Amino acid sequence: MVMPDDSADRSLDHSLESYVWKGQIWVMPVDAACQMAVERIDLGGATFGTWDEVLNAKADLAGTVTPLLPVDAFDLMMTLLATAGETKLPFSDYDFTSDENGLKALHILKKLYLAGPSDAVKWNPIHVLEAMSTTNDFRFSPALFGYFNYAHPRFRDHVLSYVDLPRFAGGGPMRGILGGLRRVIWQ
Q: What is the pLDDT of residue 5?
A: 56
Do the beta carbons of residue 68 and residue 121 sit within 8 Å?
yes
Share of the chain above pLDDT 90, in %: 52
Q: Is the pLDDT of residue 2 over 60?
A: no
The residue-averaged pLDDT of 113-135 equals 96
- Which of 112, 45, 46, 44 shows the shortest CA–CA distance to 77? 112
Mean pLDDT to the nearest integer, 12-38: 71
> In the chain, what are the domains?
7-184 (3.40.190.10)
The dihedral region occupied by 45, where left means phi > 0, alpha psi between -120 and 50, and beta the remainder, is left
Count CA atoms closer than 13 A to 11's CA, side-chain side. 22
What pTM was computed for the model? 0.80
Q: Which of 44, 36, 73 is CA-nearest to residue 167? A: 36
Residue 128, Cβ density class (10 Å: 0-12 exposed, 13-18 middle, ≥19 buried):
buried
Query: What average pLDDT does the segment 114-126 reach?
Result: 95
